[in-house]
Amino acid sequence: MAKVNIKIEGIPYQVEEGLTILEAAKLCGYNIPSLCAYNHGECSRGSCRVCLVEVKGARGLVASCVYPVNEGMEITISSPAAVAARRASVELLLSNHSKDCQQCDKNEYCELLYAAKVTGARDGMFEGVKTPATIDQITPSIVRDTSKCILCGRCIERCKSAHGKSVLGFEKRGFNTIVGPAENRSFADSPCILCGQCTTVCPTGALMEKSEIDAVDAAFKAGKYVVVQTAPAVRAALGEEFGMKIGTPVTGKMVAALKRLGFKKVYDTNYAADLTIMEEATELLGRIKNNGVLPMITSCSPGWINYAEMNYGDLLPHLSSCKSPHEMFGAILKSYYCEKNGIDPKDMFVVSIMPCTAKKFEKDREQLQHDGIKDVDAVLTTRELGKLIKRSGINWNMLPDEEFDNDIVGDYSGAGVIFGVTGGVMEAALRTAYHALTGKEHELIKFEQVRGFDGIKEASLDINGTTVNVAVAHGMKNAKVLLDDIRAGKSKYHFIEIMGCPGGCINGGGQPYVKPQFLPNEDPDILDTYKAKRAAALYSEDERQAVRQSHNNPQMKKLYDEFLGEPNSHKAHELLHTSYKAREAFK
């Protein structure tokens, strides 16, 4: 790309043509105060005016986030006029902002608070009537508080880029403008899939997960037998809550922290990921052999399930009937485990630590109960676990590495670990499907064809004379392409993996925030590489496992021998499978 010559504060630089002043300045070593510099590519409308700078020859100050550089441009960041204007812009935002910072869950990561500090903004400089607030906390997953919204539009753009949807938009006009679903409806009355991607890019506390920490506290207080399980993606990101570099696997410290928090048992959801593969691979092979409904589509991602029920009700027979792994684990804990240990299932309280906000909704589904008892009682995000650990006074850096419990349940293979990244469910299933069809282990355990972050990945495998065509998609914008082909009768695939969040669970709506201004020790390209770094943490753990195929997990064999009989048995269906139903597609 062509280069242009510019000057910043009188010093000459060469930068790529087409960059904005904000982008070019960052590459030259200047972080212009802004509220959109680090927003994962979500576009800015230049409306907040926090990043104003002087450009020689321009009429007045310009918003550096939308103003492109050109040959010979001379930029001044620190002029008295620019400094005063940036400070005034933040003060105006604060004038209409709910300043309950002590109670706000975004306190450590609030970009408005950070901008106020950097610009020297003063409180109370502009006083007046505030925009009437909407507080939406009807869904189990996400809370919306418009009194904290700064109208940046990031959430609107993230919903479009990830899912091709416009659940959120600007409502009303002028001083009364807010961001919300159409007609300022609740998320519960909108086509929102509750994935939480909007919460990861919101710069303030306007969009947050709905906390269930109080419910967990109540279970401990009531004397329940409180058991916890952690999803694979959590270990790849939890360390970020304590200043560790992105991509640092923290399995041992995480387990140690959970044991110190008082949980009776600390289990790995990977155990149930192996169980999911046993059921799902068997279901897939049964469909192929018996001319069942194909392609079969995975059902592990609750955000994807919400999308399917609201938008593709006619394709629900294509979904695997398997519950998601943490729901399977809850069902096994409250049946097999309780039976073996003489525990009344009503006395057990199962907590799932998940990278996902949609799983908060999932746990309340009527289909995910047995004899009136929920499989899972509470879901905490990775961020909520970070808060619990900090609240307890545990010194993260002093924690030793400890092991998950794996008495009669809990042991897992490498295949279970990679569920947390796009393509992981597919790869784990192929490892077991190959064995089921050939009686042998696949010579190369890795299935590289389904790895990586392309929006849609596909592969064809010849397994003992049977050609299996597979595809992987993440984010509903990509999934829609595959789903429309199925609907049109043009799909060539036998098996499709779909994950709701871009990149899979490693980038779930409940994962730690990736905001470089709060990560000073990270690499400059962290916004482009954080998903790959988290994924690498899971792939490395897979490679460290002695057992890397779900069907070789000895506890799986024991579970089926002692309790379930065989994959897809009547008892397995009763406990581990579910059903879906078409829901109204909100307009």
Domains along the chain with CATH numbers: 3-93 (3.10.20.740), 96-121+132-209 (3.30.70.20), 214-576 (3.40.950.10)
Percent of the chain with pLDDT over 70: 97
User: Can you tell me the distance from the alpha carbon of 165 to that of 159, in angstroms, rounded to the nearest whole number?
Assistant: 6
The pLDDT of residue 42 is 64
CB atoms within 10 A of CB 86: 25
> How does residue 255 score in pLDDT terms, banded at 50, 70 and 90?
very high
Percent of the chain with pLDDT over 90: 82
User: Can you tell me the distance from the alpha carbon of 187 to that of 197, in angstroms, rounded to the nearest whole number?
Assistant: 13
User: Can you tell me the distance from the alpha carbon of 431 to that of 545, in angstroms, rounded to the nearest whole number?
Assistant: 15
The pLDDT of residue 24 is 94
Q: What are phi and psi of 10, to 5 degrees?
A: 85, -5
The pLDDT of residue 480 is 98
The pLDDT of residue 48 is 86
Beta strands 296-297 and 495-499: pairing type? parallel
The pLDDT of residue 233 is 97
Lookup: tokens for 341: 């240990």
Bridge partner list, 228:
266, 351
**Which tens digit of pLDDT belongs to each residue from 263-295?**
999 999 999 999 999 999 999 999 999 999 999
The pLDDT of residue 448 is 84
> What predicted TM-score, i.e. pTM, was given to this entire model?
0.94
> How does residue 586 score in pLDDT terms, banded at 50, 70 and 90?
low
> How does residue 128 score in pLDDT terms, banded at 50, 70 and 90?
confident
**Which tens digit of pLDDT belongs to each residue from 39-97?**
555 666 677 899 999 999 999 999 998 899 999 999 999 999 999 999 999 999 999 99
For residues 103 and 297, which has the higher predicted lDDT (pLDDT)?
A: 297
Residue 36 has pLDDT above 90, yes or no: no
Lookup: tokens for 549: 């195929």
Closest to 86 (Cα-Cα) out of 152, 22, 33: 33
| 227: three-class secondary structure by DSSP | strand
H helical segments located in 312-380:
325-332, 338-341, 358-362
Among 77-81, 112-116, 392-396, 516-520, the minimum mean pLDDT is found in: 516-520
DSSP 333: I
The pLDDT of residue 366 is 94
Residue 461 has pLDDT above 60, yes or no: yes
Beta strands 225-230 and 348-354: pairing type? parallel
User: Can you tell me the distance from the alpha carbon of 98 to that of 5, in angstroms, rounded to the nearest whole number?
Assistant: 43
The pLDDT of residue 170 is 94
234 contacts 268 by C-beta, under 8 angstroms? no
Q: State mean pLDDT over 379-390.
A: 98
529 contacts 447 by C-beta, under 8 angstroms? no
90 contacts 115 by C-beta, under 8 angstroms? yes
* Structure-derived torsion over alpha carbons of residues 270, 272, 273, 278, reported in degrees to the nearest 10: 140
Task: Collect all residues with Cβ–Cβ distance below 8 Å to 392 and sequence separation of at least 6.
Answer: 260, 261
Enclosing H/E stretch for 429? helix 424-438
End-to-end CA distance of the chain: 43
Beta strands 178-180 and 169-171: pairing type? antiparallel
354 contacts 234 by C-beta, under 8 angstroms? yes
Q: Is 532 exposed, middle or buried (0-12, 13-18, 19+ CB in 10 A)?
A: middle
Amino acid 136 reads D
Lookup: tokens for 397: 């850096």
Whether residue 554 has a cis bond before it, omega within 30° of 0? no
The pLDDT of residue 224 is 98
CB atoms within 10 A of CB 1: 8
* Structure-derived torsion over alpha carbons of residues 230, 158, 498, 411, reported in degrees to the nearest 10: -10
| Mean per-residue pLDDT over the chain, rounded | 93
User: Can you tell me the distance from the alpha carbon of 371 to that of 89, in angstroms, rounded to the nearest whole number?
Assistant: 57
User: Can you tell me the distance from the alpha carbon of 308 to that of 311, in angstroms, rounded to the nearest whole number?
Assistant: 5
